[in-house]
Structure 1
Amino acid sequence: MTPPDGSWLVALDIDGTLVTYDEELSDAAREAVGAVRAAGHHVVLSSGRSLIAMTPLAAELKIDAGWIVASNGAVVARLDPGSPEGYELEHVETFDPGPALRLLRQELPDARYAVEDVGIGFRLTEHFPDGELQGQHEIVDFEELWSADVTRVVVRAPGSSSDEFHRLAEAVGLEDVTYAIGWSAWMDIAPMGVTKASGLERVRRELGVPMERTLAVGDGANDIDMLRWAARGVAMGHASEQVRNAADETTAGIEEDGVVAVLRSLLDGRRSLLDGRP
């Protein structure tokens, strides 16, 4: 479907961008998302979260139709209020997690490992800290994690740091997969070449939005490809230097509702936060 002239695809990360790390969505952010959608733009939630962890936020934002990019691009779904689950899976990318899991287990024998079952939850070696993984949780033996191809592997080592995870990923030389490391000791592993950007490109083609009318806002390492993909990539002010360097511009941090300024600039017809400033 060809969108009306002037419509943009607006890709929004969730944690640290739309909501705080305490899961708070401000009234200003909620209203700005609603105003952008009312103006005819396509708001697409794009997150490392699983699909079932994203649909409640979509409902809170009153988004019951449109697109969602979940699991860092491995899952692309179309929201449909007429569907029993409220969505239809449009694309699911899977891979064999065995080689990466066996390699990581040698270096991190005490870490917690999980694989995602789309629309259901996770199979995991032991429970993760409360609130980090949504859906049903099934504790299984480590070898059972690769009993079938999956969309995503999650590695969590609460006693480690993000920097230690970066050093480990470089040292073990993960191949044939794409990985992203979070602000905590958290690693997401996806099929090779699968990122938020690859998922969003599928959505862009489906919507028929020109590349020059794509906007993305994010704060994490898993947003870097998305920010580079978008014609206008905006990093949150609290993002790392690496993330900010991947963006075209930077807005305020999550505590200052930086995403709101970006959305309002789109409503004002500005192509940058600097437009119209002295």
Structure 2
Amino acid sequence: MVALDIDGTLLKWIDGQDEAYETITAPVHDAVHRALDAGAHIVLASGRSPHGMTRIADLLHLPRGEAERLWVVASNGAVVFRYPPMEVVHEETFDAAPAVAAVLEHHPGALVAVEERGIGGYRVNRVFPDGELSGEQLITEVSDIVGEPVSRVIIRDPQATADDFIDLAARLGLHGTDYVVGWTAWMDLSPVGVSKASGLQHVCDKLGLAADDVLAIGDGRNDIEMLRWAGRGVAMGQSVEEVRAAADDVTATVNDEGAAVEMSRWFPPRQA
């Protein structure tokens, strides 16, 4: 099985990114299909919500023809679904209200979002910067956003830094939740024990595979558990040091098609 992160692994990140920038390059597309030709399962594993991942599957032309529906791990492992059509087969939820309140006490101006599948977007306390969330944003009071169990909460403070959030999370402990901080002051809160690794383990169990059978490629802090769990975990070249340290190897950067470089080691192009 080949488990692939999306942003920063399959897709190059551009500030102010929107759907128009979501382009799968030919080397990545071809490497994915060589893996399929060799009999590997391709599983997308992302912090994105489900509705933000299906179009990436479409760009990769997955699944192919009459092939079995794709397995997808979304929301940093909290949601596992099949596609197409989208069918959620596993979901983990938690009470996020205490953790959100603790973060907002220190960052009262932070933005809060929870996926709302019914609108193909998010419930938010204020609109997020352009390109940071896909789909519609429905303005909602924080008390209503986290008023019932959720699978993931996004907290974003454009006035802070990633290090600010890392320090805050360490100080707060955020009891009852797990968290991951992105490249910026972006924090994903999730149920304890839930990560891309746990979501992928669910898929492996269904496919009769083990972690040792998995090649995983990613670039972010939310990929650390996945890279440690997989039989071979590979960090993208632009990853921060803690991500690189969690991996078995480091490939080229996303701008140098690192995912394709790594997949080509195991699924090489045919010789002319």
TM over 0.5: yes
Whole-Å separation in 2 of the counterparts to 1:118 and 1:207 = 27
Whole-Å separation in 1 of the counterparts to 2:70 and 2:23 = 23
After superposition, residues 27-42 of structure 1 pair within 5 angstroms as 27-42=26-41
- 8 Å CA contact 1:17–1:219 kept in 2: the answer is yes
- 8 Å CA contact 2:24–2:59 kept in 1: the answer is no
Whole-Å separation in 2 of the counterparts to 1:129 and 1:268 = 40
Other structure's SS at 1:234 match: strand
Whole-Å separation in 1 of the counterparts to 2:233 and 2:78 = 21
| Number of the residue aligned with 1:73 | 77
1:171 equivalent to 2:175? Answer no
- 8 Å CA contact 2:31–2:267 kept in 1: the answer is no
CA RMSD of aligned residues (A): 1.4
Q: Shift of residue 124 of structure 1?
A: 0.6
| Number of the residue aligned with 1:225 | 225
| Number of the residue aligned with 1:87 | 86
| Number of the residue aligned with 2:2 | 10
Q: Which amino acid aligns with 2:77?
A: G
| Number of the residue aligned with 1:62 | 61
Q: Which amino acid aligns with 1:77?
A: F
Structure 1, residues 217-240: CA drift from partner, whole Å, max 9, x if none?
000000000000100000111101
| Number of the residue aligned with 2:151 | 151
Structure 2: where are the runs of 5+ without partners? 15-21, 64-68
Structure 1, residues 38-82: CA drift from partner, whole Å, max 9, x if none?
2211010000001000000101101132200000000000113xx
Q: Shift of residue 118 of structure 1?
A: 3.9
| Number of the residue aligned with 2:95 | 96
Q: Shift of residue 102 of structure 1?
A: 1.0
| Number of the residue aligned with 2:243 | 243
4+ runs of 1 displaced by more than 4 Å?
A: none
Structure 1, residues 157-179: CA drift from partner, whole Å, max 9, x if none?
11111111111111222111010
Whole-Å separation in 2 of the counterparts to 1:235 and 1:35 = 21
Structure 1: where are the runs of 5+ without partners? 1-8, 81-85, 270-278
- 8 Å CA contact 2:77–2:197 kept in 1: the answer is yes
After superposition, residues 124-273 of structure 1 pair within 5 angstroms as 124-268=124-268
Whole-Å separation in 1 of the counterparts to 2:196 and 2:212 = 18
- 8 Å CA contact 2:157–2:185 kept in 1: the answer is yes
- 8 Å CA contact 2:180–2:222 kept in 1: the answer is yes
Across the two proteins, how many residue pairs are aligned to each other? Answer: 256
| Number of the residue aligned with 1:115 | 114
